[in-house]
Amino acid sequence: MYPPVQPYRQGLLETGDGHQVYWELCGNPQGKPAVFLHGGPGSGCSPTHRRLFDPARYKVLLFDQRGCGRSLPHAGLENNTTWHLVDDIERLRTEILQAEQALVFGGSWGSTLALAYAQAHPQRVSALIVRGIFTVRREELLWFYQEGASWLFPDVWERYLAPIPPEERHDLMAAYRKRLTSPDPQVQLQAAHAWSQWEDHTITLLPSPAHNQSHSDDRAALAFARIENHYFVNQGFMEEGQLLRDAHKLHGIPGVIVQGRYDACTPMRTAWELHRAWPQAEFHVVDDAGHAFDEPGILAQLMAATDKFSR
């Protein structure tokens, strides 16, 4: 990855409907405009994400999506939908990045948001890099949060089930919703840690102590779990299959799709279906990787993609 860099500008975008969205600009103020979209939803950006882009060639906008990271109010769910975030990207592109077009980079939930934005504003996207493809279809959600992935991680799954009584386990997302919106802060925190630890322990092909602690902090776990669950019980605020159905709107946008073959969080079938619907994009399967962006094979493909488009 490129060496660590600090933002040369940062601030808060007032959305006008109760949110303040943290943003930062990194790299070369005269460089190629790019927008980085973090995963979750609810995880926020980290300094490591800045290092995916050549700071001499790119002018990169990173921001913490509504309710997470340094954005306010913390863990807020009101006026927090996919389409609010798409509108935020448009305002940030025009008011902060000040670019007619930008490369858009997103992984996991960030790939969802990147596809939603690119389909809504294709003329504003100069190129698209997406990783760990997730389209919030019902079958994808049930795979990870109801049953499927438990066959691979039964030990971790038991900890995910622990806060939920047996009579509510037929709909785990709804059961978690009840607890993550409880008036009791301790009930919220217990559920938040169980929800976030399930993902943190299944994100890589091989065990990763660093990823296992990604949301160990109470504040990070609460935003991550509350916002993810809010989006998923509402199926991403999209129609079933919408992002694959509308993939034809991406035709003409240069793109790269990167997918770990053994991704347990967002299994490869969705990436394959996107590849079939958007064949103009390069498609790279990393045979020795899971879901995380910093697994070596995935990171190598992402760095090659940002370098390619920088030229």
Pick the catalytic residue from 38, 215, 275, 291.
Answer: 291
Specify whether 43 is catalytic: no
d(C-alpha 63, C-alpha 36), whole Å: 7
Position 222: which residue type?
A: L
Pick the catalytic residue from 43, 71, 108, 111.
Answer: 108
Question: Which residues, in sequence order, are CB contacts of 288 under 8 Å at separation 6+?
Answer: 205, 261, 262, 295, 297
Q: How far is CA 305 from the centre of its chain?
A: 18
SS3 306: helix
Are the CB atoms for 59 and 97 separated by under 8 Å? yes
Question: Residue 208: how many CB atoms within 10 A of its CB?
Answer: 17
Specify whether 263 is catalytic: yes
- Tokens, residue 89: 């990207």
Specify whether 291 is catalytic: yes
Q: Dihedral through CA 295, CA 154, CA 274, CA 52, nearest 10?
A: -20
- Tokens, residue 103: 């490369």
d(C-alpha 205, C-alpha 195), whole Å: 19
Pick the catalytic residue from 71, 201, 263, 275.
Answer: 263
- Give the residue numbers marked as catalytic: 108, 263, 291
